[in-house]
Amino acid sequence: MYKIIKKQNIGENMALFEVEAPKIANKAQAGQFVIVRIAEKGERIPLTIADYDREKGTITIIFQEVGCTTKKMRLLEEGQSILDLVGPLGQPTELENYGTVVCIGGGVGIAPIYPIARALKEAGNKVISIIGARNKNLLFWEDKMRAVSDELFITTDDGSVGQKGLVTDVLKQLMEKEKIDRVWAIGPMIMMKFVCLTTKPANIKTIVSLNPIMVDGTGMCGACRVQVGDETKFACVDGPEFDGHLVDFDLAMRRLAYYKDEEKRALAQLECQGGGCGCH
C-alpha cells in the first residue's frame, strides 16, 4: 500500500498525488513512469513520474479524469492509499549538454516535461520551455517550469492566457531567431506529430514520450507496441522516449482509437447487462 500524503486539484478534472514510495523515489529518473493499480480487480494504468523527492521518499503523479480508474482515483483523499505502484519503469531521458534545447508540454504533458527540463538545465543546457493547453483551466505548474527554464512561453487555444495559438506557433518563431539543438515534446499524440513535422525540415532531433495502452509495463503483453522507423518497439521497455521523426504517429493514433472504441463497446455491454440502457 502506498499512502497519499498530498492531494491537490490542479486544473479541470486534473489532480496531483504525492505518494510515499521510498524505493521508487530512490531510483526514479527523468522520463520514467510507474504502473498504478488502485484496487484488487482494477486495471493497471501508466503514469509518468512528474517529480520525486529522495529525502522524503515520495513521488508525484498527475492525472486527468478520463475513464473509470482515474475517476475512482480522484475520489481518493490524503491519508488513503493506492494498492500498487510498480516502478520506476522505462528508459530514462538521455542527458547531455546539447546546447539550446526546447521542452514542450501540452496539457497533462506538462507534468512529464518538468523533470526533463529540470534535468537538462542541471546538465548545463539553455532550456527554453513552451507549455500549452486548450484554455487557462488546463494549465498548471507555470511557476515550476519557469524556475527550471531560461525562457518560458505559454500558449492557449482560446487566448485565455499567454499567446493565442498552438505550441508549434511559438516553436516556429524560436526556430527563426536562434539555433536549436534538440527538442523534447510531450502531450497529445496529434501535438507531438505536428511538433515533429515542424522540426523535421530543419533536421532538429526531436524526442517524444509515447503513452499508448499498457497492461503490465514490462514488455510481456505487447499492447504498447509502436512503429519506430522499420522496427516495432514496446513503449514500456524500449521507451517511453523515441526519436519523433521515426515514429509512425498515424498508426499509433489508429491503435489508440481502436482501444477507445473497444472500451466504449465493453462499457455499453456492461451497462446493458445491468439494465442501465433502458432495453429491459
CATH number of the domain encompassing residue 59 = 2.40.30.10
Do 136 and 203 lie in one domain? The reply is yes
Q: Residue 120: its pLDDT value, please? A: 97
Q: What is d(CA 206, CA 168) in angstroms, rounded to the nearest whole number?
A: 13
- Strands (E) in 90-150, as ranges, are 100-106, 126-133
Return the pLDDT at 207. 95
What's the rounded Cα separation, in Å, for the pair 95 and 184? 12
pLDDT at 264 over 70: no
C-alpha cell at 64: 486527468
CA dihedral 231, 89, 15, 138 (to 10 degrees): -30
Range of the domain at 271: 213-280
> In this predicted model, what pLDDT tens digit does every residue of 46-57 receive, in sequence order?
888 999 999 999
Whether the pLDDT of residue 261 is over 60: the answer is no
d(CA 216, CA 228): 21
**Domain C-terminal end among 193, 209, 225:** 209
Residue 216 pLDDT grade (very low, low, confident, very high; cuts 50, 70, 90): low
Burial of 270 (0-12, 13-18, 19+ CB in 10 A): exposed
Q: Which amino acid is at 265?
A: R
| pLDDT > 90 in the chain, percent | 54
The rounded percent of the chain whose pLDDT value lies above 70 is 89
Query: The cell 526531436 sits on which residue?
Result: 206
Are 108 and 162 in a shared domain?
A: yes
pLDDT, position 212: 67
Q: Cell numbers at residue 134, please? A: 486548450
pLDDT digits (tens, 9 = 90+) for 184-205: 999 988 999 999 999 999 999 9
Distances (CA, A) of 60 to 16, 110, 179: 7, 13, 33
Give me Rg for the CA atoms of the chain. Answer: 19
> How large is the average pLDDT for residues 88-104?
94
| pLDDT (average), residues 252-258 | 77
pLDDT tens digits, 13-34: 889 999 999 999 999 999 999 9
From 89, 111, 145, give the residue that closes a domain: 89
- The per-residue pLDDT for range 146-172, each reduced to its tens digit, is 999 999 999 998 889 889 999 999 999
**Angle (deg, nearest 10), helices 249-273 and 189-199:** 170
How confident is residue 272, by pLDDT bands cut at 50, 70 and 90? very low
How distant, in Å, are the alpha carbons of 59, 92, 111 from that of 12? 22, 29, 14
On whether both 166 and 223 belong to a single domain, the answer is no
The mean pLDDT value for 245-249 works out to 90
In this structure, the answer to whether residues 62 and 128 fall within a common structural domain is: no
Q: What is the mean pLDDT of residues 118-137?
A: 94
Burial environment of residue 175 by CB neighbours within 10 A (0 to 12, 13 to 18, 19 or more): middle
CA atoms of 227 and 221, how far apart (whole Å): 16
- Beta carbons of 199 and 221 less than 8 angstroms apart: no
Are residue 202 and residue 221 in the same domain, yes or no? no
The rounded mean pLDDT for the chain is 86
pTM exceeds cut of 0.75:
yes
Residue 72 has pLDDT above 60, yes or no: yes
Where b means 16+ CB within 10 Å and e means fewer, 220-229 reads eeebbbbbbe
Q: Are both 144 and 161 inside the same structural domain? A: yes
The SS3 call for residue 114 is helix
Query: If you count DSSP H runs as helices and E runs as strands, how many of each does the chain have, helices first?
Result: 7, 16
Q: Looking at the structure, do residues 221 and 255 belong to the same domain, yes or no?
A: yes
| Cβ proximity of 94 and 43 under 8 Å | no
Number of domains in the chain: 3
How many Å apart are CA 130 and CA 205, to the nearest integer? 17
Between CA 211 and CA 117 the distance in angstroms is 19
The pLDDT, as a whole number, for residue 211 is 79
Q: Which of 54, 89, 124 is the last residue of a domain?
A: 89
